[in-house]
Amino acid sequence: MVCSLVRRASVCEHSFSKEIETRCGRRRGAMAATGEVRVPETFGGRMIGSPEGAGERRVIFHSDMNAFYASVEQAERPELRGVPLVVGGHEELRHGIVLAKSAQAKAAGVKTGEALWEARAKCPGLVVVPPRYEVYQAYSAMARRIYYQYTDLVEPFGLDEAWLDLTGSLPLLGGDPARTAAEISGRIKAELGCTVSVGVSWNKIFAKFGSDFRKPDAITFITPQNYRCRVWEAPVSELLYVGAATRAKLHSSGIDRIGELACASPELLRRRLGKIGLVLRAFARGEDATPVKPYDQARNEVDRTVKSFGNGLTAPHDIVSASDAKALVYLLSESVAQRLREARFRASTVSIGVRSARDLASYSRQTTLRRATNVTGVVARTAWGLLAANEPLDGEHPLRGLHVRASNLEPCDAPQQLELAFDARRRMLEDLDETIDDLRRRFGNTCIQRGAELLDESLLGLDIKKENVVHPVGYFYD
């Protein structure tokens, strides 16, 4: 199986290279290399265009599991294979959008993020299944266990994507990146029942571009010999961190392809986009030297500095009363404070996010505490105070969703300024939270709830902490 995959990867690589070289031969002459201009050495704590990476040819894989949620459902339930399938949110809770789609649903025109009723109109035989995040997390962990058999440098980018640095381990694996990529792809398919697209390059940005270049179940190499045609010919929106707003700004400057971004004037990019413009130029030129951050299995996340903890929810119905709003605020605060304690942090800043049901407009408010805390009652009362001070909470101003966030963190073992008077109530609340946490570890998060959380019957039994999904880590984390 591995041999056939290697042959397929080699044949595809050769045919794609010939096709692209022919197609863009004329453009290559037009894109004469401009003079080298030094880019910022750091951005958001990450090294960009660092001299340390200039002469070193790393071997970076980016593995992207195709249609992940839908693929897992089809792997778990063979009767769903080959049928148009989407994983959709709970319509009764007003979360009825397409979260993931199978290849058959994609062929029918179904798009991720659209409403389920729109998807059904496009595909009358569509099968909709609810999300099962604990199953997806288990499959993500199984995929990482396979990756770890090839390198210890594995950096997840969400549940379904990961970078692997095989620079040091590849010589021990035979020295052939095509064979190793094919072996990983084959094992994921055989052991998990899912397919992956693998991009291989000397930097993380181009490796991710490669995994997106051909889908599904493909292996794509972005090399120093082919990147000017393969990458530079692509629309600028294909580059990581070029969204709709950035694309519009670049288009207004006559920059529509990645190659045009790579050859653009640094002064122009700085003026139009600020510092990020020079970073994107470095990305386009293949000058990204950011390392693959190792995955900390003990903490179950990439080893990084956590800056905040938050939870938000679109309410099952419009919030039109103070009691319903208070129930949701306390439910969200419960999850935030519990996660703070699990990670051994205290927060000095509490903020809320509010979304109107009328026009879906959003705003946020925050306040700084006199003393950092991870006590549920303190976080909840602070968040509730912010909401009550900014919203009338009546039928004329309905709310669609709320968000609670704790930030400005410090470790629990950090020293705190002592109070002149002993705060017996605070100590009692800390002991109460510790007892509740112990009960929830043993019997589940819904085994005990606060009275304020029972004011809205539609929220009964809802485990916000369990359903909280950690989204892809930003590329520019510290």
Q: Rounded CA gap, 82 and 85, in Å?
A: 9
Q: Residue 70 corresponds to which tokens in the numbers above?
A: 């839908």
**For the chain, percent helix, then strand, then coil, each to nearest 5?**
45, 20, 35
Torsion of CA 235, 240, 246, 247, to 10 degrees: 10
Residue 430 backbone zone (phi > 0: left; psi -120 to 50: alpha; other: beta) = alpha
Are 109 and 122 a contacting pair, CB within 8 Å? yes
Identify the residue whose tokens are 């130029």. Answer: 281
Q: Rounded CA gap, 28 and 421, in Å?
A: 74
Distances (CA, A) of 377 to 329, 336, 380, 427: 11, 11, 5, 12
Q: Rounded CA gap, 305 and 409, in Å?
A: 10
| Largest Cα–Cα separation, the chain | 79
Determine the 3-state secondary structure of 401 from DSSP. strand
Q: Residue 103 corresponds to which tokens in the numbers above?
A: 């290849």
> Which residues are identified as catalytic?
161
Determine the 3-state secondary structure of 365 from DSSP. strand
What letter would DSSP give residue 472?
A: P
Are 8 and 441 a contacting pair, CB within 8 Å? no
Are 88 and 96 a contacting pair, CB within 8 Å? yes
In terms of Cα–Cα distance, which of 158, 132, 469 is closest to 310? 469
In terms of Cα–Cα distance, which of 460, 435, 322 is closest to 376? 435
Are 284 and 232 a contacting pair, CB within 8 Å? yes
Cis-peptide, bond into residue 216, ω within 30° of zero? yes
Q: Rounded CA gap, 166 and 143, in Å?
A: 16
Determine the 3-state secondary structure of 239 from DSSP. coil
In terms of Cα–Cα distance, which of 85, 88, 91, 89 is closest to 108? 85
Q: Residue 405 corresponds to which tokens in the numbers above?
A: 């966030």
In terms of Cα–Cα distance, which of 413, 415, 433, 416 is closest to 425? 433
